[in-house]
Amino acid sequence: MVCAVPETLRQIIWRAINLVRSEPPLRRVSAAAALIILAWAVRAGAGPGSAFSGHDSGPGTTPSLAELIYAAGMVGAAMVSGQALARRAIASLRLRSPGIEVLVTVAAAGAVAIGEYWEAAAVTFLFDLGGYLEWKTLERTRAAIRALADWSPQTARVRRPDGSEAVIRAEEVRPGDILVVKSGDKLAADGIVLRGEAEVNEAALTGEPLPVPKGPGDTVMAGSVATRGLMEVEATRVGEETTFGRIIQLVGEAQEARSPVQTAVERFARYYTPAIMVLAAVTFFMTRDTHLALTLLVVACPGALVLAAPVSLVAGIGRAARQGVLIKGGQRLEKLARVDAVAFDKTGTLTAGRPEVVGVRVLDEPAPGAAGVAITEAELLRLAAAAEKGSEHPLAAAILERAAAELWAEALPEPRQVRVFPGRGIAAAVDGRQVLVGNTRLMEEMGLTVDASVLNSVQEEAARGRTVALVAVDGRIYGWISLADRIRKSARNLVPLLRRVGVRQTVMLTGDSAAAAAPVAAALGIDRVEAGLLPEDKVKKLRELSAQGFTVAMVGDGINDAPALSAADVSIAIGAGTDVALEAADVALITDNLERIALAIGLARAIVTNVRQNLTFAVIVVLSLVAGVLFGRVHLASGMLIHEISVLAVILNGMRLLYLPSPRSPAPLRPARKGAELRRELSM
């Protein structure tokens, strides 16, 4: 234990040395600090004297060697710290856009000219040190974005036409290549799973911590990692065209885009610096107090004011990107922060957009017709699925998927004499039996009687938002299959989350019938339902909401809802793997997790609030420092110190956005009894 302390101390010293070696700005700061310490040490060792004056000797006397070393050390420190500062000041003057650096450079040069060597060294050193600390602090913010770029895949395992495998660079992958993805591999392209199954971690793109199971037909994104399993993927988009590549590009563009507040502050700063120099000059001519004029130059630096908006925007947009939310720049972010009404498309947005079988029903007594035998639910499903093998309709795909899940050990027979009736159903011969799958219209066209009890059941299912496919075998209706578009799991708590972040109105705009839309709206607690709408009708409804004083966000899939997305104050596209969604929307969700909509709105409000806090704080600090100078309470070095502390405070306040907790629903949604019943029915 006794030897542990020196060893730990040596490790700390060695790490400090390595850090200084690796970062040129820190080398400069360290050299200036060493010169200042040396100057004070020499002066202190020379005997009593003023602790804050660089010239103890009286007029006409020769300065002592200690005083000369002290002055040289302080001037040297000012030159070491101020060299980069002066270069930036000269560059800004050449561009006719003088900034903070000009004020500090003039103040430091003036301090040296009047013999205030300590003040010159302190001002430049504190500014240089503050700049280094600002850079290090902002690095933490930029790392949120850089981590995405660092996650880029480097290699890919490709299956050659002869069946062999080869490892190539990620940029060499071409559309159509077959990628062999094993456990631990990072996908090098967007693609479609051809064979095999695996769990894929998409956290780097969507922020979802849990792996997602993938199988044949599923899409995968570049940058995701296979955590378990083996699969072959056909590359569809590569390089910068992948979802991952587009994220990197769009986040970079979003950071470059200026918000109205940021633009206004930068315009103000462009005129503020010359104005302060003129004010300092006027102060000098009125008071003949050089020290006062130089101090005014330093303390009036608008450093914190200039950084107030950018640091919050970078941190906030970076945080959103890590959660799978792309906010396209500051102007759109400010609009998003004002959103108090959200309109949703239904199909593909609130629901999965893919019908699923939710029930198989066999009649107790088959409908009248030719003689037949009893059929079980499994047999009804088997015959219907076999007939639907000849159809490409989405409902057919849902029936086949259900059959594959329940009858996995039994191969479906091939249908014969297939006849497709568009908009009505399908007929086929299966195992020598005539099978008919379709709606009541098809049954009547084929001469089958649909009695009142069956019609009532069909109408009841329709009232629940379901579609019914009647199944007839050898001329008798034996039952039906109910299908529904399931509500997304992430939509269940969406409305309470939106309420919590300040949204006052939620509306469903859909082209579906009121019977199909009402159960979904009731299950989710959505305020209003506008059903049976054409695209132009959705635009009209959005304009009506805006006319009522709402700032409206429209949520859609980015393709079918293009007119409505364009008409809204803010457009939010989900499932942003599509180019349309990434390019057109103000906000794009890489994931289909609808709760991220509340995250985006809440984060936008937090960013705008953060910017206002920073601006208010910066203005108060500048005014307080100027008042302190005029009343003789603030001096050059102390003013510079307070200025740098205020800049760091603004940066740290902005960085809080990186760790802001996501909004969570305060309580489960409690719909009315009817809505609760409908929700249970929809989840069957």
What letter would DSSP give residue 434?
A: E
Instruction: Answer with the residue of higher pLDDT: 257 or 97.
Output: 97
pLDDT of 558 over the 70 cut: no
The residues, ordered by sequence, that sit 6+ positions from 301 with a Cβ below 8 Å of its Cβ are: 100, 103, 104, 276, 643
Mean pLDDT, to the nearest integer, of 599-624?
89
Greatest alpha-carbon span in the chain: 130
What letter would DSSP give residue 495?
A: H
pLDDT tens per residue, range 419-469: 888 778 899 999 889 999 988 888 888 888 888 888 888 888 877 778 888
Q: How confident is the model at residue 220 (pLDDT cuts 50, 70, 90)?
A: confident
For 525-665, where are the alpha helices, taking DSSP H only? 535-547, 562-567, 579-584, 595-630, 636-655
pLDDT tens per residue, range 145-185: 565 566 677 888 898 888 888 888 888 888 888 999 888 88
pLDDT of 668 over the 60 cut: no
The whole-angstrom separation of Cα 132 and Cα 105 is 17
pLDDT tens per residue, range 346-386: 877 888 777 888 888 888 765 544 445 568 888 898 999 99
pLDDT of 589 over the 80 cut: yes
Burial of 304 (0-12, 13-18, 19+ CB in 10 A): buried
pLDDT tens per residue, range 386-405: 998 877 777 888 888 888 88
pLDDT of 578 over the 70 cut: no
The whole-angstrom separation of Cα 334 and Cα 231 is 43
Asked if 345 is an active-site residue, the reply is yes
pTM of the predicted protein model: 0.66
β pairing state of 505-509 and 528-530: parallel
pLDDT tens per residue, range 176-206: 889 998 888 888 888 899 888 888 887 666 6
What letter would DSSP give residue 417?
A: E
Query: Cα 224 from chain centroid?
Result: 16
SS3 string of 330-380?
Answer: HHHHHHHHCCCEEEECHHHHHEEEEEEEEEEEECCCCCCCCCCCCCCHHHH
The whole-angstrom separation of Cα 118 and Cα 71 is 8
Long-range contacts of 153-161 (CB under 8 A, 24+ apart): 153/186, 153/187, 153/188, 153/222, 153/223, 154/186, 155/188, 156/188, 156/189, 157/181, 157/182, 157/185, 159/232
Q: Of residues 345, 485, 569, 586, which has the active-site annotation?
A: 345
State the average pLDDT for the chain. 78
